[in-house]
Every structure is written in structure tokens, then in C-alpha cells.
Structure 1
Amino acid sequence: MLNAPVSKQQIKEKWLKIKNRLLGTNSKQGFLIQLLIYSLLLTIGFIYLYPLIYMLSTSFKSLNDLLDTSIKWIPSSFYLKNYQQAFSVMNIKESLLGSIVLSFVPTFFQVISTGLVGYGFAKYNFPFKKTLFFLMIFSFIVPPQILMMPTYVLYNDLGLLGSLKAFVLPAMLGQGIKSPIFVLIFYQFFKQTPISLYEAAEVDGASEWTIFFKIAIPMAVPAIIIVFLFSFVWYWNETYLVNLYLGNGSGSRSWTTMLTQLQNFKSNYEALYPVTESGSNKLNEGVTMAGTMITLIPLLLTYFVLQDYFVESVDRSGITGE
């Protein structure tokens, strides 16, 4: 029995099904679109992960593995002496404590000050509000290198150099690292909060501080998490200002961080492990990569612990990068 001829309508319907499977519909992505998206994600992920994988692999390589061209990624054995030497060179106890203190304390005060400023700009109308808001945005646009020397002279006159106050006092006054962008985050969040909540609290007799602490702050937890994480990372990664303000050692104690120790890694290593005539103890890439990985571990642990809160906070605060 001969097959019935295929009509044009049937051919059109089959072609439409194939097209929908490949390109997708309004409610479902097609195979080609998904393939393109996942390919881009894998490519971007590889670009970001490649340096970390390379550092991690190299940090466990012995000198023989580094000289052996046949060993690319997986070392012949996990050589832990690189990390032992890196820990001693970086003075890990003092530098880790310094990094935590110099990152957490200014961040804590910066969250409070930028939250207050952002709340004030979002809720109140006052004279020269737009002018002050413009000046705040302008201060973020101005390159920080232009203000470093005048700021250094001011801190020197105030006796802040060599002390943790050089970072804490500006953070308390809303002038910490990247403070304007944090004010904008709080401003955007508080601006989206229904004004009826504040008005209802005022009708019930709540004071301005009660409204701020009892209503605004609990609702601003997503923005607080975002500001805290970004501020902590930026203070942690800051090296130039640490060397500029604290490098003279004129304070009551000498402050050092893990990243400043990493900057001086070569000189500290050569002082701690002098090179012998046989060439042993010579600084190699494995030890350097171990020191670099040590500085990254605290931030990686912080991200893995708080990543769920961070993603949720970004989604709830409405930050889109626009």
C-alpha cells in the first residue's frame, strides 16, 4: 500500500516543531539558545577559574616538578613545604590579624554611616539636597590618586598616620573606601520602601530614631549584607593606602596585612631563607603561588559561607548593574 502524500501543511508543522526545538518559543528556550548560553558561561567561568586552578596546582609542586616539562597540572606529589615556608615568610598570625582588623572595623562603621546618609537622602527633603547629592556622586567620579597627597597631609596634621584611626575615622564620617557607591545602594533601597510604613509609625507616635531602627534597618538587611561584603573585600584588598597611612610605623603598633606581606614576599623570603652555594632555598614559583593562595583563602571561605545570602540580597535589593 502506497503512503499518502505529505501535504504542505504537514511539512510546515514539522518544520515549525524543529524550529521551536532549536530556537525555542516564548515560554521555553531552544537547544541552540541553551547551547550558546552554556558555552558562554563555561568560557567565562574558565577565564575566571584558570588563574585559580593554575595557582593551586603550582603551589603544590616541588622544584623537580616545576623543572619537569612533562608535568603540567597534576604534581607528582603534594609538596606541602611550599605552604610551610609561605606561612613563615608572611608572618601569618600577625598579618592575618591585621587584615581582619583593618577590614572589619572600618567596614562596620562604614555600613552604619552610609546607611544613615542613604536613609536621609531617601526619606527627607532639605535645602540643597540635590547639590549635596551631586557633590557626593562627583566625589566618586574624582580619581582617588588626585586626593591622596592632600589627604595624607591632612592626616599627618591630625596625627592619624600610623594608626588604625586613619581608616576608622573616615569610615565613621562616611568617607571610607568607595563610600559614595554604598550610599547609593542604601538610597536606592530605602527609596523603594513604601512611605506608608513610615507614615503609619509616625501616626503611632514613633520617633525618627525608632522608625529607623525598628522599621528601616530590619527591612534593609539585604542592602546591609551587600554593603558589608563589598566593603570588607575592598578594605581587604587595599594595599596602597595601608602602605601610605600605616607604613611609617609611627603609631603605637606596627600594622601589617596579608597583601602587604605578599608585596614584600621576595625580600622577606630571602632574609628568612638565605640562598646557599648549592642554590638551595632559592625562591621558586611554587612558594610564590602558595603565598598567593594563602591570601585568597579567607576571601574564598567568606564567599562560600555567605554566597546564598549575597545572591538573595542582590535579588531583593534590586541592584542590576545599570
Structure 2
Amino acid sequence: MKKLDYRRLKSRSRHFLFGMNFTDGIVYKFVIYTLLISFSYIYLYPVLFMTVNSFMSVDDLINPGVKWIPSSLQFVNYGRALQVLELPGSIVGTTSYVLKVSISVTISSAIIGYGFAKFRFPLKNLLFVLMLATFILPSQVTMVANMLIFRNLGLMSTQKSMIYPAIFGQGVNAAIYILIFYQFFKTIPGVLMESAEVDGASQIKIFTRIAIPLAIPSFLIVFLFSFVWYWNETFITSLYVGGRITLPLKLQAFRASYETLFPPGTAGAELNEAIMLAGNMLTILPLLVLYFIAQRFFVESIDRTGITGE
């Protein structure tokens, strides 16, 4: 009887620790959650650091005893950062610009990806390789040629210099977007397309009525990727468009703008690290809000588009 109870206890303990298939045991879950918390802390630490320090006063910043809890919350740091970055007008302007180029590159990438996936034409493989090569080439290599082309076309220093390339599949990181659509459209059974052709559907109708509805996850993930990349892009935007049309570009000139609004020597208005961190937080805040709203759809889209190559 004692041996039977011992075996039952041993069996229950083993199931509790390791589960039926090891993946449902407490040991496996402990290891997984420990790794997840560790990696998430590595990625979240800069955001936590910026958030905490953006509310600190000058005394807290230079006080080695103050690490994570400010002695008092300095909301005035965000008030001054709002003035320098000209919010919320800057968010509206940046969002308007980024939406135009993101939607354009998403639509063009879908059309190009569908063409590579479903049609046969001369030099298809060569063109596909050249398309992928555009992602390898750094923007510094082609910037002189692009500037000459845009200047001859009268597009320099206008948003059209970013919108037109996006429309024709040459936007920022467009090769990756085309590859995502290509991978997804390749998974659509050819029998489905052939049956639609037998029923008299044209290629445009097949693309709009069959391919696009099935590719909604791909559209979502490409749009989110392009939105974030265009939002954070400063080098190409400042080179071709010029000015300070986006929040990241205004953040680059934060010090000069601040000194214009609050000249050096103004009592109680000296620029410090906390105010600059507040500006950083306000710049990335729209992207954080976008991610928290769309994170569920984002994860589902990655799983359904086969972006990992599965």
C-alpha cells in the first residue's frame, strides 16, 4: 500500500514539474517566463529610463541617490517639450505625410508581389533578384542619382519626392514588402485562380475579388512596417523633402528650437536632459499607441503571412 502511494505521489510530482509532454510542466513554464521577462526588460529598459528621467528635476538628475523615483514630478518638462515640438500640429502633419507614403507603398508592393507570384514573363528571376538587391544597397549609394532625377523632374524639396517612388514600388524598404506579398500570394492555390478564369473573371477581378481579401493580413503587416519606418526615417526625408515635416526631424533640431523659444539665461528655463527625454517620449508616443492598439492584429498577421519563411 505504501509503495502504491509513493508511486502515485511520484507520478503526480513528475506531472506537476514536467507535465505530460514537458511543455506543460511548471519547470518549462518557469524557464520560458524567466526568458521572456529577461528579454522584455532588455527592450523595455530604455523606455522605462526615458519615462522616469523625463519627469525629474535638475536636482534629481545630478543626485546619485535618485534612480527610479523622482522626488517630485516635473510636468513642466513635457509642457516645454510640447512647445518646442509644436504638438499636436506636428503629429497631425507627420501622420498625414506618413499615411500617404505608407498607403502608396503598400498598394504598389501588393501589385508587384502578385505579379511575381502568379505570372510568368521573360527575365522574371533576374528582375526578382534585382528587386531584392535594392534592399541591400544603402541609400547613400543612390542618393546623388536620385537627387539629380528629382531635381530634373521638379520634385526636390517636396513630398512628391517620397510619394512617387512609393507609388512605383521604390519606397523605403519596399523590397521587403514585395517579398512579404510574394510569399503570401504563392500560397494561394492556383486551382482557385484557374476556376475564376473559367468562370470568366479577368485578371483584375481575380486580384481585387480573390487575392486582396485573402491578403488582408499581409496588407496590415506591410502597412504597419512601412508606417513605423517612414515615421522614423530622417536621413532620406531631410535630404529629398527638406524642412522639419516630421516629429523625428523636429527632434533632431530640438536644442536649436528650444534656445529660440527660451533664450540662454532665461531664469528657470535652462535646457536639461529631462526636457530632451520628454521630447523623445512625445516623439515615440504615437507609435507606442499604434502598437498597443494593433498588436493583436500585428501578431496574427505575422503568423498568417509566413514572414518567417515557414
Where on the TM-score scale, by shorter chain, does this alignment land: which range? over 0.9
Residue 58 of structure 2 corresponds to residue 69 of structure 1: no
Alpha-carbon distance, 1:285 to partner: 1.3
C-alpha contact (below 8 Å) 2:52/2:69 kept by paired residues: yes
C-alpha contact (below 8 Å) 1:182/1:227 kept by paired residues: yes
1:140 corresponds to which of 122, 127, 135: 135
CA displacement, residues 148-196 of structure 1 (integer Å, 9 cap, x when unaligned): 2222222122221110101100000000000011001001111101222
CA distance in 2, matches of 1:295, 1:321: 33
C-alpha contact (below 8 Å) 1:98/1:255 kept by paired residues: no
Give 3-state SS (helix, strand or coil) of 2:117's partner. Answer: helix
Matches within 5 A, 1:161-200: 161-200=156-195
CA displacement, residues 110-142 of structure 1 (integer Å, 9 cap, x when unaligned): 111110000111111111111111111122222
C-alpha contact (below 8 Å) 1:103/1:232 kept by paired residues: yes
Give 3-state SS (helix, strand or coil) of 2:31's partner. Answer: helix
CA distance in 2, matches of 1:192, 1:129: 19
Give 3-state SS (helix, strand or coil) of 2:156's partner. Answer: coil
Alpha-carbon distance, 1:256 to partner: 1.7
Q: Who is 2:30 aligned against?
A: 35
Matches within 5 A, 1:250-289: 255-276=244-265, 280-289=268-277
CA distance in 2, matches of 1:298, 1:277: 31
Give 3-state SS (helix, strand or coil) of 2:217's partner. Answer: helix
Paired AA for residue 315 in structure 1: D
Q: Would the alpha carbon gap of residues 200 and 277 (structure 1) be closer, same or farther in structure 2, given more than 3 Å must change?
A: closer
Alpha-carbon distance, 1:19 to partner: 5.3
Give 3-state SS (helix, strand or coil) of 2:289's partner. Answer: helix
Could you tell me which runs of 5 or more consecutive residues in structure 2 were left unpaired when the two chains were aligned: none
Paired AA for residue 86 in structure 1: A
C-alpha contact (below 8 Å) 1:92/1:258 kept by paired residues: no
Give 3-state SS (helix, strand or coil) of 1:92's partner. Answer: coil
Q: Who is 1:292 aligned against?
A: 280
CA distance in 1, matches of 2:23, 2:180: 34
What's the C-alpha RMSD, in Å, of the aligned pairs?
2.2
Alpha-carbon distance, 1:63 to partner: 2.4
Comparing 69-78 with 286-295, greater Cα deviation is found at 69-78
TM-score w.r.t. structure 1 length? 0.89
Q: Who is 2:304 aligned against?
A: 316
1:209 corresponds to which of 179, 204, 208: 204
CA displacement, residues 187-232 of structure 1 (integer Å, 9 cap, x when unaligned): 1111101222211211111111111111111111000000000000
TM-score w.r.t. structure 2 length? 0.92
Identity %: 44
CA displacement, residues 4-59 of structure 1 (integer Å, 9 cap, x when unaligned): 7x69xx98997676555444443643333222211111110101111111111111
Comparing 117-126 with 266-275, greater Cα deviation is found at 266-275
C-alpha contact (below 8 Å) 1:57/1:73 kept by paired residues: yes
Give 3-state SS (helix, strand or coil) of 1:275's partner. Answer: coil
CA distance in 1, matches of 2:85, 2:25: 52
CA displacement, residues 54-84 of structure 1 (integer Å, 9 cap, x when unaligned): 1111111222332333322122332211111
Paired AA for residue 58 in structure 2: L
Comparing 301-310 with 138-147, greater Cα deviation is found at 138-147
Larger radius of gyration: 1
Q: Who is 2:229 aligned against?
A: 234
CA distance in 2, matches of 1:321, 1:295: 33
CA distance in 2, matches of 1:271, 1:289: 19
CA distance in 1, matches of 2:180, 2:45: 32
Residue 46 of structure 2 corresponds to residue 51 of structure 1: yes
CA distance in 1, matches of 2:308, 2:201: 34
Q: Would the alpha carbon gap of residues 27 and 71 (structure 1) be closer, same or farther in structure 2, given more than 3 Å must change?
A: closer
